[in-house]
A and B are shown apart, each in its own frame.
Chain A
Amino acid sequence: MTEFKKSGLNLLEGKGKLIRVKGKEKKNLLEIKDLRTYFPVLGGVFRKVIGYVKAVDGVNFSINKGEVFGLVGETGCGKSTIGKTLVRILNPTSGNIFYYDNAELKSGKGQSVKIDVSKLNRKELMPYRSKIQMIFQDPYSSLNPRFTVGDIIEEPLTVHRGKHKENKKVVKDLLEKVGMSEEHIYRYPHEFSGGQRQRIGIARALSTNPELIIADEPVSALDVSIQAQVINLMQDLQDEFKVTYIFISHDLSVVRHIAHRIAVMYLGFIMEMGPAEEIYKNPLNPYTKVLLSAVPKGNPRKKAKKQPLRGEVPSSLHKPSGCCFHPRCPIAKDICRKEDPVFEEKEKGVFVKCHFPGEY
């Protein structure tokens, strides 16, 4: 695996992009502080910036090693933007993404280091990118149709480690690990079904032996009977490779199944975050509660209650004043219209952004 070379680290340190942390190994892998990603909106004759779409608007969370962190929310809530910002496909407008590297600590010399990924330039990002990989939603457009399966899986290896004879062997092993066979190596993506393509995408993500995989709606485009296969595969691979997942999905049932901790997003904010069991059992934010009640339960004798939620998600170009959820909130009061609630810990490990948590 490509490590942050010692000299490379020193270079980062000189520029203030790296902090040495004393003490034991951190259980955090990533720590996100007040992250914002805005998209400028241009208008007028001179194409001036007339506003911002605040896709991610100040989120704080951390990812623990070895966990599955679920990000859920409706269309346009900013969950995919967070994913893309974390791998720096998109650049954050402000805020920090701290990545903890324990390689030096483990080898017995030095300390664990904290790197501010949001400040790294293209070249400095390279080693970081080999540790954080992504799985995309659409298995049809995320694989290059002109590459063979072998080339697709080998490419990250060539980029991060250079051309090696062993690379081919790694590719074969990976194909077997994701439930495909060696003979598929010279075939092209169009020869495979959706589920198989998603397996290829997973093999590609695993090829650099990453610590974190960001899976952006990995099963949404698949048939129901194939979804379960891919979810099981992802769980098996987690046990085997000890990898951490950020699982982005709009499907609350899937997230409940796979995630240890979840964050519920709305209009670029995290409305509620905590252990999955806790949140599904006892949601504190009215939005979480309404969202959960809207999911069909799959039991014809227990139909969903009448939807209290009217209307749809407002545009993130013109966010409501105060709490962003107040125009649709069933218990909104005056204070909700004026003051933006703080995102804080209400119960152990459960963070909520609401003036009246647990009252709905």
Chain B
Amino acid sequence: MSKKKRNELLKIENLETHFMIEDQKARAVDGLDFDVFEGEFFGIVGESGSGKSVTALSILRLIPDPPGKISHGKIFFRERDLLGLSWEEMRKIRGNEISMVFQEPMTSLNPVFTVGVQIMEPLIIHRNMNKKNAREEAIKMLEKVGIPSPELRIDDYPHQFSGGMRQRAMIAIALCCDPSLLIADEPTTALDVTVQAQILELMTEIKNKRKESAIILITHDLAVIAETCDRVMVMYCGKIQEVASTVNLFENPLHPYTKGLMASIPSLTEKKKRLTAIPGNVPGILNFPPGCPFHPRCSYRMPVCEKVVPELLEVDKKHLVRCHLYNGEGRNQ
């Protein structure tokens, strides 16, 4: 990591997004504080229902309202509060300054338009290009993301593309307006390992080329994070549990949940006799446990964990963790 001070690209303060489900408030994202710097590859990791996708949708203000609502907090993007912007202003940001790649390339591409038309659309809207220039640009983009003979494939429909190529096309759409922030929500989960490796390589290349912009990668797979990201945030039950640089997180995980996750993944290089599983289930969104949400499954559980939600503490330099084990009280026990 470079020593020189980097500019903040995205700053999120106390973000809270909830959904009304059967007259109950489901806190999908609950008090989120983090920032992403320019030139950073930032990872968000968590299991299903941990709130990672809702975080991404909140940044783009794509939460369906109702039932969802961003009830609290501020999202600063280049020092502009996105939550204060009008719908029109927000539209100018989406796909232009912040863009997103979704998990399912088949369902997120429109099947009745050619891939070319879909890449040209943001260029025509945001860059005021005419069709001819936009088409040239789209061919360039397809070539950049590694689609062979792009001048022919541009007139194909999404169903004529394979899974990996669709995801490449999605990335081309997301990148065509040269956004400062690219959010990739599980971009490789639906793909095979060999194709996953290609896509991750492509994303790393993109990040290395564009120093002023950042990528947020959302995944459930810690190994994918290790492969690509500079800094990671671990989420559980809508809350940040741990934030650290990737190397730090993998070599010195602090939160019992992070430790548990790492122990439960079988390794490709060494054979373990038995996996150490985290007991219990991921709680449903309407019954998040009181206190620390992880306490029913935690092996270091203390009485205080059942009542008090721990604070997010900076334990080491730039290594934040939300656990009672690391504040004064916990250390004494």
- A residues adjacent to B (C-beta < 8 A): 74-75, 193, 195-196, 223-229, 231-232, 235, 250, 252-254, 256-258, 277, 280, 290-301, 303-304, 306-307, 309-313
Contact = CB atoms under 8 A, between A and B. Distances in A.
B268 interface: yes
Contacts of B200: 296
B281 interface: yes
B192 A307 contact: no
Nearest to A277: B271
B71 interface: no
Contact of A307 (B148, B194, B263): B194
Given A228-B264, A228-B276, A312-B162, A299 B226 contact: yes
A250 B193 contact: yes
Given A290-B194, A297-B223, A195 B281 contact: yes
B220 A224 contact: yes
Contact of A292 (B47, B268, B278): B268
B226 A75 contact: no
A271 to B, nearest CB: 13
B266 A254 contact: yes
B309 interface: no
B266 A300 contact: no
Contacts of B265: 224, 228, 253, 298
B193 A252 contact: yes
B192 A298 contact: no
B281 A257 contact: no
Given A296-B197, A298-B267, A298-B268, 18 more contacts: A74-B193, A75-B163, A223-B47, A228-B275, A228-B276, A229-B277, A232-B277, A253-B267, A254-B266, A257-B272, A295-B223, A296-B200, A297-B269, A298-B223, A303-B226, A309-B197, A312-B164, A312-B194
Given A291-B193, A298-B223, A307 B261 contact: no
A304 B197 contact: yes
B315 to A, nearest CB: 19
B268 A295 contact: yes
Given A296-B224, A307-B201, A193 B268 contact: no
Given A298-B223, A304-B197, A256 B266 contact: yes
